[in-house]
């Protein structure tokens, strides 16, 4: 046995890490993938200039929610009439619709308000599975024109360049590459489910034809919006209302997020072209219906997830609420 073989034998004392123990890796990458999916979809679209949106009365939305919950069958139409075969209508799961409608009502009871353009949205997230977690913190510019910051795990506070109509803005390292504005708050995001559907189609490429992959896209886009952007009560409620009207989502009555908080889940199976046998769940607090995070399950249990620990408006990067 020569020296190289001895070194090799020393290395063999460390077993190969099973994939089931790599929830942190999977969850953090999944979050980055979801974020890029959102960013790409926005980049492809022409984002209208921010404009004031009218305040809505909670009662109006509540009435709409109640009325709509009676109609639980939604036929999803693909593209323009006559351009493609009309897929068979699927039925909205009434239990899922009830929970999502309750979540919409709870959202409408949240305090109104919005960050100033110069403020930051602080987000603290845990990624992984219980016992194997990393904590990331983000200070995202409310209007996207100020340098955001992130602290991943035990790393240092790192700047994320902002963007104003083209070049990155990062004082220490200015670049000339193309960029897109990625604010933490979109004032133009609508507050009715119909307008929200149109908004997500236009800005995020959401499709509503009757395909399992589209269910996955919509669920992940909504989950990422819930955990990465500030939303007014009306905006948040309209996302829940939209999910409530979308066939394919189901209730998982008792499920735990990455940091062990138990809640009720709204889940969906991945389409056959993504990952057979894998499903993802958005987890809600049972009492407040606050979105706790998202976890993906495989045959062997949790494959990793993300849990929203804290979200708050702050005045400066690095400031803790």
Partner 1 sequence: MRRPGQRALTTADDATVIEGSWHDPDLFEALVDRHASHIHRYFVRRVGRELADDLAAETFLAAFGKRRTYDLSYRDCRPWLYGIAANLVGQHRREEARQYRIMQAALPDAGIPGHAERVAADVTAQAIRKVLAEALGALSPGDRDVLTLIAWEDLSYSEVARVLAIPIGTVRSRLHRARRQVREALSNTGAAAAYEEIMANE
Task: List residues binding partner 1 (CB under 8 A).
Answer: 1, 3-4, 6-8, 10-11, 13-19, 21-22, 24-26, 28-30, 32-33, 36-37, 40, 127-128, 132, 134, 152-155, 205-207, 211, 213-214, 217, 272-274
How far apart are CB 210 and partner 1 at their closest, in Å? Answer: 13
DSSP letter for each residue of 92-144: PPHHHHHHHHHHHHHHHTSPP----TT-EEEEEEEEEETTEEEEEEEEEESSS
**CB of 160 or CB of 169, closer to partner 1:** 160
How far apart are CB 191 and partner 1 at their closest, in Å? Answer: 24
| Six-digit token string for 226 | 């819930």
Yes or no: say if 90 and 210 are a contact pair by the CB < 8 Å rule: yes
| Six-digit token string for 49 | 């200039």
Count CB atoms within 10 A of the CB of residue 195: 14
How far apart are CB 229 and partner 1 at their closest, in Å? Answer: 19
**CB of 7 or CB of 66, closer to partner 1:** 7
* Residue of 282, 286, 281 lying closest to 263 (CA atoms): 286
**CB of 17 or CB of 254, closer to partner 1:** 17
Provide CB contacts within 8 A for 199, sequence distance 6+. 189, 190
**CB of 6 or CB of 63, closer to partner 1:** 6
How far apart are CB 301 and partner 1 at their closest, in Å? Answer: 16
* Residue of 251, 250, 193 lying closest to 222 (CA atoms): 193
**CB of 107 or CB of 282, closer to partner 1:** 282
The residues that bridge with 294 in the sheet, in sequence order, are 282, 306
How far apart are CB 245 and partner 1 at their closest, in Å? Answer: 19
Rounded to the nearest 10°, the torsion over CA 282, 286, 290, 293 is -30
How far apart are CB 290 and partner 1 at their closest, in Å? Answer: 26
**CB of 102 or CB of 150, closer to partner 1:** 150
């Amino acid at each position: 046995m020569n020296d190289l073989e001895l070194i090799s034998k020393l290395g063999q004392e460390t077993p190969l890490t099973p994939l089931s123990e790599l929830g942190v890796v999977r969850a953090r990458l999944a979050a980055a993938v979801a974020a890029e999916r959102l960013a790409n979809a926005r980049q492809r679209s022409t984002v209208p200039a921010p404009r004031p949106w009218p305040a809505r009365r909670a009662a109006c939305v509540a009435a709409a929610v109640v009325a709509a919950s009676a109609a639980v069958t939604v036929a999803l139409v693909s593209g323009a009439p006559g351009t493609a075969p009309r897929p068979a209508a699927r039925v909205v799961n009434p239990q899922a619709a009830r929970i999502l409608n309750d979540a919409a009502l709870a959202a409408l009871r949240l305090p109104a308000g919005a960050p100033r353009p110069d403020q930051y949205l602080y987000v603290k997230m845990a990624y992984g599975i219980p016992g194997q977690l990393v904590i990331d913190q983000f200070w995202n510019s409310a209007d996207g024109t100020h340098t955001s910051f992130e602290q991943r795990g035990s790393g240092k506070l790192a700047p994320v360049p902002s963007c104003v109509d083209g070049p990155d803005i990062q004082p220490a390292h200015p670049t000339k590459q193309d960029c897109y504005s990625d604010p933490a708050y979109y004032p133009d995001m609508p507050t009715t489910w119909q307008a929200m559907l149109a908004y997500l189609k236009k800005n995020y490429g959401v499709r509503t034809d009757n395909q399992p992959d589209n269910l996955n896209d919509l669920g992940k886009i909504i989950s990422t919006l819930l955990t990465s952007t500030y939303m007014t009560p009306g905006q948040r409620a309209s996302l829940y209302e939209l999910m409530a009207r979308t066939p394919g989502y189901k209730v998982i009555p008792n499920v735990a997020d990455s940091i062990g908080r138990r809640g009720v889940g709204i889940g969906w199976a991945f389409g056959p072209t993504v990952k057979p046998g894998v499903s993802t769940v958005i987890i809600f607090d049972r009492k407040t219906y606050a979105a706790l995070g998202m976890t993906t399950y495989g045959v062997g249990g949790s494959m990793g997830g993300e849990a929203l620990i804290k979200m708050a408006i702050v005045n400066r990067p690095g400031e803790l609420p």
